[in-house]
Amino acid sequence: MDNIADKVHIGELIAISKVFQLNTFEMVTKLENGSMEVFDRKEDFYEKYGEKETYDELLDWCELNNGKIFTILQ
């Protein structure tokens, strides 16, 4: 990800950091090194991972009320 600020709002980072139990620095680091992904739409997430009950390739994922989905890879 080139510029995290273009894709993710600080409020989203704070909300997701509580869900994933990471601090915001850890979140930004994971986004920068590619071990965390952000999808703007649920359809983009489904296109990559499919629509299933569980996602074994992901450590965790969370959908915000604005439709963005954050994932942490295994």
Q: Write out pLDDT tens, residues 8-36.
A: 999 999 999 999 999 989 999 999 999 99
CB 8 within 8 A of CB 38: yes
- Look at residue 1 and tell me whether its pLDDT is greater than 80: no
* pLDDT at res. 4: 85
Q: How far apart are CA 41 and CA 58, in angstroms?
A: 17
Q: What are phi and psi of 58, to 5 degrees?
A: -110, 140
Containing structural domain, residue 40:
4-73
Q: Write out pLDDT tens, residues 36-47.
A: 999 999 999 999
Question: Half-sphere exposure of 26 toward its Cβ, with a 13 Å CA cutoff?
Answer: 9
* pLDDT at res. 45: 97
Domain total in the chain = 1
Using a cut of 0.85, tell me whether the model's pTM lies above it. yes
Q: How far apart are CA 71 and CA 74, in angstroms?
A: 10
